[in-house]
Structure 1
């Protein structure tokens, strides 16, 4: 038997000296140069084009000296990197690189400003893409409040099980009233409230409601907003805040006038009158004992006297039984608070002196 037919395997019928020699192992392939691979990758992805040129040139030198595979990859990397380098130089010369970088930077900034309406928080100022607040909005662009913006978040209300569903007529009325309350608490100074500003809010969609979203996001929106509407330490000094809070407390109590007919049930009106009397008395003390600038003290003292006088009329109104007498004392209480005294107090503290339309 021809030993070669057995592929070099031993034949047990032959003596040892006639056994075929074992086949030599196949030759190991030469390794691929790592720099050649890197040069090709850099050339393909067009990142750092000069680096691809350098790596490809070094790879060719190594291959010529030490051997190895990858010459074609090195050459391809050099060619692609050379083309990329020329394109970069051309863009720099023509200014296209600057435009491309600006576009990239603007895109990154735009992406960082984008926020879901479900992630908005109190104090955020934002623009709606396209400026259309009438359509369903999913994402908005957050911007500084001292720049032009479409709306400002005044607060978040989380719906409870007892609250009406946001899509129902009762839910819409409930949401509006809750947002009015949050808006008033956020701005507080009714005299600084822009005429064209309106209430706007985001409610859970059917999809987000199914995923557990229960938040109503209340905002104020208007044309040409270029500052924050918030009243707080960042926008007013302590004296201004103290005065604004005093007037706000009185206004807020006045808004609680009962809806029922006095003749049918006078008790809610008497309770309202007692609350008005207590709030006015409390705020009169705050105005009288406050630490005001020396020039503002006389105006604040005069306003405190008006609070006291008004509070006394409300106290009398709370005790009368006759409806006509009740409203007579309420009218006297309202007339005790004059717009002129309020303007003087605001002017002394450096606040806006233009009354709102209803004043």
Structure 2
């Protein structure tokens, strides 16, 4: 029987499938005017106040013409910028802007001059807050060395694990000895140092030491220091430097007397004498080899001869058979270097002729 005769659908035929309609697109949000946002931001942060006022006005015109969101932002930006603009004009008229700028500049300069004691470096001149050099401080104020200052950094030394810890008696002695050497190398002309100058240093605190801080900072301090104490090409001419270096080398070696008594370690004393003799001989040769200015030649020649004579007596001391003979030659060697000859050499080179207090 034909299924169609009974009102049914024929075999093999299906009800057509209808593709459902897609979901309707959500409405697109109305964009916010970019100038309105910028005007509000500029108004809030108070930078270039008139700019926020102008941008807000332009934003309102665009919103009236094109529509969009951001009217409230634009109005807020205009209001805030107007207030900022009026404040700026008032400050300009009353001089407040200059005072505000000066205050900002001074604050910035103060912050730039502030340095941690562990950040100080060779050649820095600084003042301690309150001028109290005895109390522990974290930061100091660096200043130009041609201004009055409390101290001048001569150098730094990185403490080793084998060095005594700072704060202990041995640590204090060790730090002072290291700084004496560093100070002497920085200001090699002992005759040019102010009479009241002293060695000064910063050592790591207990907390800093535990945290790995190993920096020893050495400095000079004195009353009303002004000008750098450094001896170098910026402060002295080549002739002055050559002479100062010669005297400094002789002073350094001759001052390294052994700590033990002669009877306990005669070999150390004889070694000291040989080193001093060698230093005097080398520096006498250096003084003779240099072509000095005509007005200084005689005085430097006389000092070279004293170096040679002193060196011969130090050499005899190194060969001495007993302690009495050793000290006899050392005393003669020291007496050979007269203060008069040193003053004459310094005067000829334009250097200070006032002996340090320890030399009378």
* Match of residue 9 from structure 2: none
**Structure 1 stretches of 4+ moved >6 Å:** 21-26
* Match of residue 222 from structure 1: 222
Q: Cα offset for 1:284? A: 0.9
* Match of residue 315 from structure 1: 315
Q: Cα offset for 1:264? A: 4.0
Aligned residues: 339
* Match of residue 152 from structure 1: 152
* Match of residue 74 from structure 2: 74
Matched, 1:49 2:42: no
Q: Which deviates further from its counterpart, 297-306 or 64-73?
A: 64-73
Q: Distance in 2 between matches of 1:123 and 1:252?
A: 22
Q: Cα offset for 1:24? A: 7.5
* Match of residue 169 from structure 1: 169
Compared with structure 1, are the counterparts of its residues 248 and 25 closer, same or farther at alpha carbon in structure 2 (3 Å cutoff)?
closer
* Match of residue 4 from structure 1: none
Q: Distance in 1 between matches of 2:273 and 2:201?
A: 33
Q: Distance in 1 between matches of 2:269 and 2:59?
A: 93
What CA deviation, in whole Å up to 9, does each residue of 1:221-273 have, x standing for no partner?
Answer: 12222211111111111111110011011111121122322344433222222
Matched, 1:196 2:196: yes
Matched, 1:103 2:103: yes
Q: Distance in 1 between matches of 2:26 and 2:287?
A: 101
* Match of residue 339 from structure 1: 339
* Match of residue 14 from structure 2: none
Q: Cα offset for 1:134? A: 2.0
Matched, 1:249 2:242: no
Q: Cα offset for 1:81? A: 0.9
Q: Which deviates further from its counterpart, 246-255 or 155-164?
A: 155-164
Q: Cα offset for 1:23? A: 10
Q: Cα offset for 1:80? A: 1.2
Q: Cα offset for 1:141? A: 2.6
Q: Distance in 1 between matches of 2:356 and 2:110?
A: 37
Q: Distance in 1 between matches of 2:308 and 2:86?
A: 83
Q: Distance in 1 between matches of 2:264 and 2:28?
A: 106
Q: Cα offset for 1:65? A: 1.7
Cα root mean square deviation, aligned: 2.0
* Match of residue 179 from structure 1: 179
What CA deviation, in whole Å up to 9, does each residue of 1:289-347 have, x standing for no partner?
Answer: 11211211110001011111111222222223343333222222111111111111001
Q: Cα offset for 1:138? A: 1.8
Q: Cα offset for 1:165? A: 1.1
Q: Secondary structure at the match of 1:141?
A: strand
Q: Distance in 2 between matches of 1:264 and 1:83?
A: 87
Q: Secondary structure at the match of 1:150?
A: strand
Q: Distance in 1 between matches of 2:357 and 2:334?
A: 17
Compared with structure 1, are the counterparts of its residues 25 and 276 closer, same or farther at alpha carbon in structure 2 (3 Å cutoff)?
closer
Q: Which deviates further from its counterpart, 245-254 or 204-213?
A: 204-213
Compared with structure 1, are the counterparts of its residues 26 and 334 closer, same or farther at alpha carbon in structure 2 (3 Å cutoff)?
closer
* Match of residue 297 from structure 2: 297
Compared with structure 1, are the counterparts of its residues 279 and 22 closer, same or farther at alpha carbon in structure 2 (3 Å cutoff)?
closer
Q: Distance in 2 between matches of 1:267 and 1:30?
A: 97
Q: Distance in 2 between matches of 1:278 and 1:29?
A: 93
Compared with structure 1, are the counterparts of its residues 22 and 246 closer, same or farther at alpha carbon in structure 2 (3 Å cutoff)?
closer
Q: Distance in 1 between matches of 2:307 and 2:101?
A: 62
Q: Distance in 2 between matches of 1:28 and 1:282?
A: 93
Q: Distance in 1 between matches of 2:25 and 2:357?
A: 100
Q: Which deviates further from its counterpart, 48-57 or 257-266?
A: 257-266
Structure 2 segments unaligned to the other structure (5+ residues): 1-20
After TM superposition, the score normalised by the length of structure 2 is 0.88
Q: Distance in 1 between matches of 2:240 and 2:226?
A: 21
